[in-house]
Amino acid sequence: MKMMTMGKRTQAAVLFTLLFTLMLTAQESRSVQPEWWFGGGLGLNFNYYGGNTSTLNAAKSIAPASYTKGSGTGLWLAPLVEYRPDPVWGAMVTLGFDNRSGDFDAVTAAGVTSRVKASMNYLSLEPSLKISPFPANVYFFAGPRLGFNVAKSFTYTEDNNAAGTAIGDWSGVRGTVLGLQLGAGYDIALTSANQSTRIDLAPFLAIHFGQGPRSEDNWTLSSVRFGVALKFGSTAGTTEALSRDVQFSVRAPRLIPTERRVKETFPMRNFVFFDEGSTAVPSRYVQLTHDQASSFKEEQLVQPEPKDLTGRSRRQLTVYHNILNILGDRMRDHANASVTLSGASDKGAATGKMYAEEVKRYLVDVFGIDGGRITTAGRDKPEVPSVASGATRELDLVRPEDRRVDITSTTAGLLEPVQIVSLQEDPLDSDVLVNVTNGDEKLASWSVEAIDENGSVNRYGPFTGDQGRIGGRQIMGTRFKGKYTMALLAQTKSGQTFRKEETVTLTRSDEPVEDLGLRFSILFEFDQSRTVATYERFLTDVVAPLVPEGGSVIIHGHTDLIGEESHNLKLSKDRAEETKAIIANALAKAGKRRVKFDAYGFGEDLRRAPFENTLPEERFYNRTVIIDILPE
């Protein structure tokens, strides 16, 4: 069968168009795939002849003329075996019938126009390396081709001369030819990703080139193959291996409390931040008149009205924004105490000194503090700056943190934590804990679906690491009891996805927990994972003695949103684990053995952050570890 000659540019255009179309339709993730696939392929070879061929065999020649061009089509049919140990790399091999027949273009010599049809059939062995570089079903393959010749006949004809027809075998045909193949294809799943038996249909395109058919001339043969492969595989072994490596479990609380009354020891951040372009104390800080200050007592903040108990971070920020009033009240109580106010500004030490003087003015004019007890200084950056030398990233968030006044004193009572009472909504002991053994090692990320009895689905995540937390009330909504199928949807680091399920029953309380919980917070400087030395003594001498035998300690670390998310997650985990180690060591020395610990790092997770990240003081308070102590 003859066809129009397809030029190299046309071939390249067809190949590019096919690949571009396949990549556009590619999906975003790979499901668990079988390692071994078996099937077969069927295709059509578009064969192209070149070079110079004048002698067909000892009995037939058209020398000195020669055949130089030709083309044709032929069938390719072969069984196939494919091995995919990894979603990116794999191998496949075919062995089957390979027709490389074609017609040479007519040649006129000595007034005679002749034509030759070549019938060249091979048993071709084609091993290939398969590469799938994208998180999709597009793949590329390359490898050698070994062709074992099984037919080599020709039909020679002359125009207007039936007597000139000759049929025979080509002479000098190589018994084995060596070539190369390059190609691309697309695996189309014909079965659901949830089925263990998989069937794929894979259309592909390949280019073949290499040794010519004969050893006695320079006849060249190249082919473009359009084909399709049908492949069958089973994921039973692969899924079983993943199930062994990645264990999934869900731990639900016996009763999900909706809220808990908490007595919190809230640390005072000894900074006053200033707005750019202004030396006045910002209006968000509570500033009293002289008459109001005369009657101000810190206890007014400690015992709020019930309506003021709730609100994400509002209670704590209200306390912090009274820092100047708390300091003034405490300096009245500690008549011999003195403070140092060190102002810092990127505009220079003079502007920093103006910040400090403004704070001093407030304490002197409003609270009547003797100015001789207050020392002021100015500098271009704080002693512990947030902006590191040479830093270039996220400066719009970091620079405002260094525009501040640091308050220091040798009298510890001036800056000690404040005791406040608040209502904790969705306490951490109401969380449903999802544990994924080897998740950090094996998985790139994972999510969880919660499916209730009515088939309603809510999805949470994505998570990384070995554990995730989901608020019990978040799952249950307004329900008080329900049975849920918790489904793990995991993606491995090699790009495969798989699913595992577990069933849990959740029960929610509609009353606040009566037992008063205790909460402590420790703060960290920018990007520091080690516990501040003073807090180590605080954890050992103050926090640990308050943990009851048989009680629970929930420790959760947080960061601000500055920096890489993965770095912040690790940082918060390091902080939580170090805090746990200090408390556990103190409890062991005290002989308390039946204490349950739950330590977790949330990183910059905005859903769990204690504060927003808008103001510099909020970011400072988010660099924290919070310790919740719960009775037995």
**In the block, which residue shows the tokens 């000139």?**
164
pLDDT value, residue 78: 97
- Domain residues of the chain, as ranges? 8-235, 268-416, 424-507, 515-632
**Residues composing the chain:** 632
Comparing CA positions, the residue from 569, 557, 565 lying closest to residue 599 is: 557
Dihedral of the CA atoms 458, 461, 467, 472 (nearest 10)? -40
Both tokens of 623, joined, read 């660099």
Closest to 518 in 3D by CA, of 261, 299, 257: 261
Contact 37, 200 (CB under 8 A): yes
pLDDT score, position 442: 80
DSSP letter string, 489-521? EEEETTSEEEEEEEEEEEEB-SS-EEEEEEEEE
Helices (H), 197-348: 236-245, 290-294, 299-302, 314-320, 323-333
Which amino acid appears at position 120 of this protein? M
Low pLDDT (below 50) residues in the chain: 1-6, 8-9, 12, 15-16, 19-29, 304-311, 529
- What Rg value do the Cα atoms of the chain yield, rounded? 39
CA atoms within 13 A on the CB side of 330: 20
* Region 424-507: CATH code: 2.60.40.10
SS3 assignment, position 307:
helix
No. of helices (H) and no. of strands (E), the chain: 13, 32
Please name the residues in contact with 628: beta carbons below 8 A apart, sequence gap of 6 or more.
262, 427, 428, 429, 517, 518, 519, 553, 554, 555, 556
Tokens 């027809």 found at: 165
* pLDDT value, residue 62: 83
Q: Which residue has the tokens 């249909």?
A: 201
User: Is the alpha carbon torsion for 535, 537, 539, 541 positive or negative?
Assistant: negative
Which CATH entry fits the domain spanning 515-632: 3.40.50.10140, 3.30.1330.60, 3.90.1300.10, 3.40.50.300? 3.30.1330.60
Residue 248's CB: how many other CB atoms inside 10 A? Answer: 20
CATH code for the part of the protein at 8-235:
2.40.160
- Of the candidate CATH numbers 3.50.50.60, 3.30.530.20, 3.30.1330.60, 3.30.450.20, the domain formed by 268-416 belongs to 3.30.1330.60
Does 515-632 match 268-416 at the fold level? yes
Could you say which DSSP state residue 127 is in? E
Amino acid at 194: N
d(C-alpha 33, C-alpha 233), whole Å: 8
CA-based angle 286:287:288, to the nearest 5?
120
